């Protein structure tokens, strides 16, 4: 009877080893799956990282022929100006302001479509674009971010 018990104990150990190995492999696979899929799911479905904007847009001047704009585009506050004046200005400056003051500025001259400065949006901030034509300033509507 002793050899039969010895065979049973070796067989039991082998089964336990296989079960333990299978459990460890399963846990490792589950861990890898969680590491891969959790960040993808969190990034695609997360609403915490999305900013809400309100306002912005354009202010028209000189009978609607020209305008200065600030808009939220791809997470950026983007400024633009379109100038269709009778006499094209010798100096065109597009400024971008936030709550702390002047953030950035671009300078040019003439008429046409101008792309001004842009910066990343931040929660709790507000942005205003301003165009200065030969020392006369016109501001856009306020763009708010929450």
Q: Tens digits of per-residue pLDDT, 44-89?
A: 544 445 889 999 999 998 887 899 999 999 999 999 999 998 888 9
What letter does residue 111 receive in the DSSP assignment? S
pTM value is: 0.64
Strand partners, 60: 67
Spell out the domain ranges in the chain: 1-50, 53-145
- For residues 77 and 119, the answer to whether their CB atoms sit within 8 Å is yes
Write the pLDDT tens digit of every residue in 89-118: 999 999 999 999 999 999 999 999 999 999
- Highest CATH level, class, for 53-145: mainly beta
What letter does residue 49 receive in the DSSP assignment? T
Structure tokens at 19: 């079960």
Secondary structure class of 4 (helix, strand, coil): helix
Structure tokens at 52: 């809400």
């Amino acid at each position: 009877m002793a050899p039969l018990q010895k065979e049973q104990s070796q067989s039991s150990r082998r089964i336990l080893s296989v079960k333990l190995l299978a459990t460890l492999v399963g846990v490792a696979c589950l861990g890898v799956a969680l590491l891969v899929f959790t960040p993808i799911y969190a990034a695609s479905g997360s609403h915490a990282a999305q900013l809400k904007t309100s306002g912005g847009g354009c202010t028209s001047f000189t009978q609607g022929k020209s305008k200065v704009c600030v808009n939220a585009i791809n997470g950026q506050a983007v400024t633009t100006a379109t100038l269709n004046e009778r006499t094209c200005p010798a100096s065109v400056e597009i400024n971008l302001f936030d709550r702390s003051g002047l953030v950035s500025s671009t300078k040019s001259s003439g008429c046409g479509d101008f792309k001004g400065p842009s910066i990343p949006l931040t929660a709790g901030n507000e942005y205003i674009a301003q165009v200065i034509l030969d020392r006369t300033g016109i501001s856009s509507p306020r763009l708010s971010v929450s």
